[in-house]
């Protein structure tokens, strides 16, 4: 039985065909680290972990990228979430990022979620 995926452009289920045979590159939008993780994070990253593990089980070499948003995630008011967290927690912005990024990784580790191959951050590029 072939794996099928939903194509939003054609609005149809289509057979999965990787760009490179036997390899899969997967980008997952990561958290904005201005506070502790919540149930929505757990649901998202546990689900993505199941998908990554399934492709590995099928024999694919998986390159899994999940960013960490550490700047530029704006509220409707136009204010950056990191700055909001900075004021709330009475910490410098990058202290907020480092504190809650470490907390996020601990939480995902506790859930047994495999870490991605790469976790890029906007401030590093």
List of domains in the chain: 19-124 (3.40.50.620)
The answer to whether 68 and 27 are in contact (CB under 8 A) is no
R_g over Cα of the chain? 17
- Region for residue 121 given its phi and psi (left: phi exceeds 0; alpha: psi -120 to 50; beta: otherwise): beta
d(CA 19, CA 15): 13
What integer pLDDT is reported at residue 1 of this predicted model? 63
Q: For 116, phi and psi rounded to 5 degrees? A: -70, 165
Record the pTM.
0.87
| Residue showing tokens 């199941």 | 50
Q: Which residues of 45-80 are buried (b: 16+ CB within 10 A; e: fewer)?
A: beebbeebeebeeeebebebebbbbbeeeeeeeeeb
Strands 4-7 and 12-15: antiparallel
pLDDT beneath 50, residues of the chain: none
**Joined tokens for residue 119:** 């976790």
Q: If we measure between CA atoms, which residue out of 96, 15, 114, 105 comes closest to residue 57?
A: 114
What are the tens digits of pLDDT across the range 57-79? 999 999 999 999 988 888 888 88
């Amino acid at each position: 039985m072939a794996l099928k995926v939903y194509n939003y452009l054609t609005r149809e289920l289509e057979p999965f065909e990787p760009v490179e045979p036997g390899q899969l590159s997967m980008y997952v939008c990561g958290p904005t680290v201005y506070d502790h993780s919540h149930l929505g994070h757990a649901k998202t990253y546990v689900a993505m972990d199941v998908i990554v593990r399934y492709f590995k089980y099928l024999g694919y070499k998986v390159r899994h990228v999940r960013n960490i948003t550490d700047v530029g995630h704006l509220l409707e008011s136009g204010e950056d979430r990191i700055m909001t967290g900075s004021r709330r927690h009475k910490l410098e912005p990058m202290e907020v990022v480092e504190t809650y990024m470490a907390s996020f990784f601990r939480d995902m580790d506790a859930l047994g979620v495999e870490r991605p191959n790469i976790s890029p951050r906007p401030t590093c590029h």
